[in-house]
A = this chain, B = another copy of it.
Amino acid sequence: MGHVILITGGCRSGKSAFAQQLAEETGDQLLFLATSPPLDREMQERIRLHREERAHRGWQTVEEQQCPARIIRESPPGATILLDCLTLWINNMLYLAEKEGKLLDEKTVRGKAEELLLTCRERPGTVIMVTNEVGLGIVPENRLARRYRDLVGRCNQCIGREADEVYLVSCGVPLKLKG
């Protein structure tokens, strides 16, 4: 029922701007679902400014670091949701797991991604997800970075295979991969 769009690209590739533009063309009721933890004061200030700037264009912002599916489930049917971004969500889950001495493996992430997709399907309306490509550089020496890279790739694959539309953004230019 719900429509799922995945947007990928590198750091500062213009993927978030394209995602917002796509959302604004899609719907009237706009929900920005932020997964970003406000790490330091500079980051907090930046997030606040982005939030205000979006509010002027009709967006409501909700923050959820661990369970974006819950927010999607509880959001008004028909509203266009922009989940920005999957990589920070994976990062938050990995951080929590490490803190609790647990292992976040690819199977668990696949389960989480499938739950997220199912939630989007059960709810009328469009969900646009932003992610990052993080696996196109040299294998990182840091063990946790390697795990993160694997988990993000796994999540992107799961979502990308099921999504109705997939875009790759490079140099501010979106390329439709699917849909």
Task: Give residues in A with beta carbon < 8 Å to B.
Answer: 6, 8, 10-14, 106, 131-142, 145, 148-150, 152-154, 156-161, 163, 166, 168, 170-173, 175, 177-178
For A148, the chain B residues whose CB sits under 8 A away are: 138
In the complex, the count of this chain's copies comes to: 3
Q: How far is the CB of A15 from chain B (nearest CB, A)?
A: 10
9 smallest A-B Cβ distances: which pairs? A137-B137, A12-B153, A160-B171, A11-B135, A10-B135, A136-B136, A157-B172, A10-B136, A160-B172
Interface CB pairs A-B, < 8 A, 12? A11-B139, A12-B149, A12-B154, A13-B135, A14-B160, A134-B139, A135-B136, A158-B172, A160-B173, A161-B171, A173-B178, A175-B175
* Contact partner, A171, options B131, B137, B138, Cβ 8 Å: B131
* Contact partner, A156, options B140, B145, B171, Cβ 8 Å: B171
* Contact partner, A140, options B138, B149, B157, B163, Cβ 8 Å: B138
A133 to B133, CA, bound (A): 11
For A142, the chain B residues whose CB sits under 8 A away are: 138, 141
For A145, the chain B residues whose CB sits under 8 A away are: 138
Q: How far is the CB of A110 from chain B (nearest CB, A)?
A: 11
